[in-house]
Amino acid sequence: MSDFFLTAEAEPDEAVKLALRRIDEAQAAGQGSDVEGLRLNEVVVNMGPQHPSTHGVLRLVVTLDGELIKDVIPVVGYLHRCKEKLAEKRTYFQYIPILDRTEYVAGMNCEWAYVMTVEKLTGIRPTRRAEFIRVIVGELSRIASHLVAVGTFTADLAPLGTAMAFYTFRDRELILDLLEEVSGGRMMYNYLRFGGVRYDLPSGWVEQCRDVMKRMPKLIDEYASLVDDNAIFLQRTVGKGVISQQDVVDYGITGPNARASGVELDLRRTRPYSVYPELDFEVCTAQHGDVFDRYRVRMDEMRQSVRIIEQCLDMLPRGPVQSGSLRAPYVVTPPPGSCYVGQENPRGEYGTYIVSDGSRYPYRLKYRDPCFCNLQLFPKLLRGNKIADAVSISGSMDLVLGGIDR
């Protein structure tokens, strides 16, 4: 008996201790076991940080009553790398590569958010060609990121999804190849500069990109045909993990997760930046806010991204990709002050807040990471669901722990 049950006092782990204490409180309040004479019918289970289906090192301390989830305590910090503190010891320019490593699935977009913030602080204006290139690589990065999201989410549901994950990762290579040609890196790009981008597009790249964009909608349709009409997939996803619009507002949910609940919140439209006002695209929304809708919104967004990229390739102007002199981006000393710029990352609003004291180093840098805010909803979202749903719901939220833990 004592081998199995640890009391709250004897438990060394703080999160588990909290979970056990909550069980005790619930029992004291008369909401304990429904079986006569049984002291405890709830078990506290660790999902993560080492668990096959937590993406990264998310740890959920789950209180289970049989298959039912009674309580969830997310524990973060296993991937903490002092990203914010590092900014204070580096010049503005030296900090760009670190951005790739915060939310590593869509590094390009993170760089973009930071670069835009510094540009706003200093008043540097990027060239027009650079703006278009930024939109192209940003949207490519968004497609790659959504491919990972959809693939891993379906992989959580089943072996079928494993096949789908392989297909999505296979086709993500097409995009990573494009980004590699342009920047030299597959995940850690270090490509954007204050006032422009590092390199111009290599010759033949535009045609290559057009080619990939021509293939992409067919590939997306292929994924959709694998699962969209599958009865078991629908059973597992329809009506599960519903996020209401009130929750979206209360918890600051952004990105596809918010749009799946019918909130038309897309910073590319609502707080436009770069050349997005000139581009024609739809903000994809759904109505029900369940797991299936979140999956569908991501699929639709990939199609929209393809549209955006094709337009940009058509409109791409000639000219320099770096404003000012070639040395300009390396030494940046913004005037004292502070600034926040949010950017539509594939997972939601990713913004950086920078306080400058007029020196070459940021005085303080703070992120607004979409995953961190989306994670706050987990306890509310998972409570009352089956343990199998916990996996599909957390998969549909698409968390990246690099951004949460920083």
Partner 1 sequence: MDVFLEILRLVVCVIVAYAVVFVAALVNIVFERRFLAFMQDRHGPNRVGPHGIFQSIADAFKMIGKEDFRPAFADRGMFILAPIMVMIGAVAVQLTMPYTKGFTPGDLNVGLIYIVAVTSFTTMAILVGGWASRNKYSLVGALRSAAQMISYEIPMLLAILVIAMVVGSWSLNDVVDAQADYKWIGFYMPFTFLLYAIAAISELNRGPFDLPESESELVSGYGTEYSGMRFGMFFLNEYACMTIMSMVAVTLFFGGWHGPFEDALVIGGVAIVPFIWFMVKTYILVFALVWVRLSLPRLQVDQLMGFAWKILIPLGLLNIALTAAVILWVPHWRWGLLVVGWVSFAAFVGLFDPILKRRLRRQRERLPVVSS
CA dihedral defined by 291, 288, 241, 220, rounded to 10 degrees?
Answer: 10
Tally Cβ neighbours within 10 Å of residue 147.
27
- Contacting residue, 37, 52, 123, 317, with partner 1 by CB under 8 A: 52
Choices 87-95, 210-218, 285-293, 299-307 (CB under 8 A): range interacting with partner 1: 285-293
Tally Cβ neighbours within 10 Å of residue 7.
11
Residue 391 interacting with partner 1 (CB under 8 A): yes
Q: SS in 3 state form for 126-151?
A: CCHHHHHHHHHHHHHHHHHHHHHHHH
Which candidate, 367, 362, 373, 365, places its Cα nearest to that of 351?
Answer: 367
Which candidate, 309, 305, 366, places its Cα nearest to that of 339?
Answer: 366
Residue 238 interacting with partner 1 (CB under 8 A): yes
Residue among 53 and 338 whose Cβ is closer to partner 1: 53
Site for partner 1, residues 240 to 279, rule: CB under 8 A: 242-246, 249, 261-262
Which candidate, 168, 343, 349, places its Cα nearest to that of 257?
Answer: 349
- Contacting residue, 60, 115, 137, 227, with partner 1 by CB under 8 A: 227
Residue 287 interacting with partner 1 (CB under 8 A): yes
Residue among 167 and 194 whose Cβ is closer to partner 1: 167
# residues near partner 1 by CB under 8 A: 52
Residue type, 90: R
CA dihedral defined by 67, 57, 105, 268, rounded to 10 degrees?
Answer: 70
Q: In the complex, what is the shortest distance from the CB of residue 248 to partner 1, in angstroms, rounded to a whole number?
A: 8
Residue 158 interacting with partner 1 (CB under 8 A): yes
Residue among 139 and 171 whose Cβ is closer to partner 1: 171
Distance between CA atoms of 7 and 20, rounded to whole angstroms? Answer: 7
Which candidate, 136, 142, 165, places its Cα nearest to that of 223?
Answer: 165
Residue among 50 and 359 whose Cβ is closer to partner 1: 50
Residue among 150 and 227 whose Cβ is closer to partner 1: 227
Residue 170 interacting with partner 1 (CB under 8 A): yes
CA dihedral defined by 25, 30, 33, 35, rounded to 10 degrees?
Answer: 160
Q: In the complex, what is the shortest distance from the CB of residue 121 to partner 1, in angstroms, rounded to a whole number?
A: 36
DSSP 363: E
Which candidate, 312, 259, 326, places its Cα nearest to that of 287?
Answer: 259
Residue type, 118: V
Site for partner 1, residues 369 to 388, rule: CB under 8 A: 386-388
**Which residues contact residue 109 at a Cβ distance below 8 angstroms, ignoring those fewer than 6 apart?**
103, 138, 141, 142, 145, 343, 344, 345, 346, 350
- Contacting residue, 57, 106, 155, 321, with partner 1 by CB under 8 A: 155
- Contacting residue, 71, 131, 156, 300, with partner 1 by CB under 8 A: 156
Q: In the complex, what is the shortest distance from the CB of residue 403 to partner 1, in angstroms, rounded to a whole number?
A: 22
- Contacting residue, 42, 266, 389, 398, with partner 1 by CB under 8 A: 389
Per DSSP, what are the bridge partners of residue 337?
A: 356
Q: In the complex, what is the shortest distance from the CB of residue 372 to partner 1, in angstroms, rounded to a whole number?
A: 22
- Contacting residue, 6, 160, 188, 355, with partner 1 by CB under 8 A: 160
Choices 155-163, 210-218, 317-325, 355-363 (CB under 8 A): range interacting with partner 1: 155-163
Q: In the complex, what is the shortest distance from the CB of residue 41 to partner 1, in angstroms, rounded to a whole number?
A: 13
Residue among 16 and 216 whose Cβ is closer to partner 1: 16
| Integer angstrom CA distances of residue 72 from 66, 284, 295, 368, 405 | 14, 30, 23, 23, 18
Choices 70-78, 99-107, 208-216, 224-232 (CB under 8 A): range interacting with partner 1: 224-232
Residue among 239 and 336 whose Cβ is closer to partner 1: 239
Residue 290 interacting with partner 1 (CB under 8 A): yes
Q: Structure tokens of 251?
A: 């918890």
Return residues touching partner 1 (CB under 8 A).
3-4, 43, 45, 51-53, 64, 67, 154-163, 166-167, 170, 227, 229-236, 238-239, 242-246, 249, 261-262, 287-290, 292, 386-391
